[in-house]
Structure 1
Amino acid sequence: MPPTQRPRLPIEEGKLVLATNAIRIDPKLSVSRAATLYDTPRSILYRRVAGARPKAIANTSKRKLLPIEEQSLV
């Protein structure tokens, strides 16, 4: 059975957003340094800087129901 990935906590997602914005504002700031400063995984930060979207956002187009419709069914 393949390992399941746990969803990112909002605080982790916030750190990634802050680190990404810091890199875009300061071109001298490296991804490795920003990952250390904001305590985020370097590999994920590299992907975000390259333009990858969070999985929660990227997978919304694959869903049949809107989140509100799903909640009403539950």
Structure 2
Amino acid sequence: MKPQQHHLQSSKEGRISLAIASYQSNPSLFLRCLAASFNIPRSTLQTRLHSIKPKRETVSVNRKLSPIEEQSLVD
């Protein structure tokens, strides 16, 4: 990932975390308005509130090697 893309992604993750914290402190807020105020997609906010992790943080079930096996091959 390019440094600029990494910075933008971490900035987006920060905004998502702030939106989740705002919603948890005041659940009567509308997700659509909250997402718009933090400039994030409503669908992303909704899935994160349901404790679903982003794809890049999950381990695929179709992987042939475990992380330990993969690291031993790299070494």
Structure 1 spans left out of the alignment, 5+ residues? 1-5
State TM-score, norm by structure 1.
0.66
- Tell me the matched-pair count: 65
* Deviates most, 7-16 or 39-48: 7-16
Cα distance, 1:26 vs structure 2? 0.6
What does residue 25 of structure 1 align with?
Answer: 25
Cα distance, 1:60 vs structure 2? 7.3
RMSD over aligned Cα atoms? 2.9
Q: Map 1:1-74; keep pairs closer than 5 Å.
A: 9-59=9-59, 64-65=66-67, 69=71, 73=74
Letter in 2 for 1:64: S
Cα distance in 2, alignment partners of residues 47 and 22 from structure 1: 16
Cα distance, 1:54 vs structure 2? 2.0
Q: Which runs of 4+ in 1 moved over 4 A?
A: 60-63
Structure 2 spans left out of the alignment, 5+ residues? none
Say which one has the larger Rg: 2
State TM-score, norm by structure 2.
0.65
Cα distance, 1:22 vs structure 2? 0.8
